[in-house]
Structure 1
């Protein structure tokens, strides 16, 4: 897997995941919607940690500045 996520993309995803986590654990969002958003937040954190988003591949999106040889 080649990296396809830049630093700004990773930071934005982690911030969104943190906000969703806070909203879920404070009870502002709950139920099925809360669980779905919490799973999505987990995916955001995971993809940020490995710097690879599988959804970017079919669309040819790369937000990282490193060029492959």
Structure 2
């Protein structure tokens, strides 16, 4: 698994994912907020499986 998520992309994913999960825990939004686990995980692991078939990479090392 080669990293394909860059620094800015990673920060946005982690903040958005954590925000969605927090909103769910505080009752602001419904159970759909648990979808935040996906961007949180892809940000933490620096790998997005959707980028593979599209040939995308926001990581400077892989360009």
TM-score range, shorter-chain basis? 0.7 to 0.9
- Partner of 1:53, secondary structure, is coil
Q: Which residue of 2 aligns with 1:37?
A: 33
Determine if the alignment matches structure 1 residue 17 to structure 2 residue 17. Answer: yes
Per-residue CA deviations over 1:15-40 (Å, capped at 9, x if unaligned) read 1112112211111112xxx2x331x2
TM-score by length of 1: 0.79
**Larger RCO, structure (CA 8 Å, separation 6 or more):** 1
Separation (CA, whole Å) in 2 of partners of 1:67 and 1:26: 38
Q: Which residue of 1 aligns with 2:62?
A: 67
Number of aligned positions between the proteins: 63
* Higher-Rg member (1/2): 1
